[in-house]
Amino acid sequence: MKYYPAFLNLQGRPCIVIGGGSVAEGKVYSLLEAEALVTIISPELTPNLNTWLDEGRLTHVKRPYQSGDLTGAVLAISATNDRAVNEQVWREATARCVPVNVVDDPPHCTFIAPALMRRGDLTIAVSTSGKAPTLAVRVRDQIERLIGDEYARFLELVSAIREPLAVQHPDFAQRKALWYRLVDSDVLELLRRGDEEGARDRIAEIMGVVLT
């Protein structure tokens, strides 16, 4: 299978997770990070899931999965150890054209979840197309050792100059060249050393836009 990599905007959109165990917990955590509206369908929940429920971060339907539970969902994850339930979820999801992931069962997935690394707005996803998720985790761990918090701060700083830069340089090719010059400069190294003032000055020098 050849997967098409994509980052989905799930903010405020309903996502269903079938199952309330430790595997489901990991999937729910990622959905909450994406600010999705998460509903868990399961007779029981892990302590962490119960805590998130008490905090109002998710909704819990305290019963086993039933046909029709995916109504209105934009994404579904089945994280149970019951093959019959997983098969039912798969059939309903495909009938409704809802993207579905049956955990550890690639033939019953229309999408797979990569190993993620986040540094603020920087997100790096690593996938093995479902062949060896543990390898994806180890590759992600290696990347984490290379990419520090300076990348998150870099994105925070430069996000404010996108619009004024577009006004100052309406030609896309010119802006693209400036962006490459910036990311290839020593700004990240300055931020890594904690020299934010120097980084700001360098950004202004390269881009011609003063950070406020």
Does residue 3 surpass a pLDDT of 90? no
Tokens matching residue 76: 């579904």
The angle subtended at Cα 37 by Cα 85 and Cα 12, nearest 5°, is: 140
Position 106 pLDDT exceeds 90: no
> How far is 44 from 120, CA to CA, in rounded Å?
33
The DSSP bridge partners found for residue 109 are 101
Pairing mode of beta strands 75-78, 100-102: parallel
Q: What is the mean pLDDT of residues 16-44?
A: 97
pLDDT tens for each residue of 122-147: 999 999 988 898 999 999 999 999 99
Banded pLDDT at 211 (limits 50, 70, 90):
confident
Nearest alpha carbon to residue 77 among 34, 45, 108, 55: 108
Pairing label, strands 59-61, 37-41: parallel
pLDDT attached to residue 137: 95
3-state class (DSSP) for residue 76: strand
Q: Place 210 in a pLDDT band, splitting at 50, 70 and 90.
A: confident
What is the model's pTM? 0.84
The per-residue pLDDT for range 147-179, each reduced to its tens digit, is 999 999 999 999 999 999 999 999 999 999 999
**φ and ψ at residue 149, rounded to 5 degrees:** -65, -15
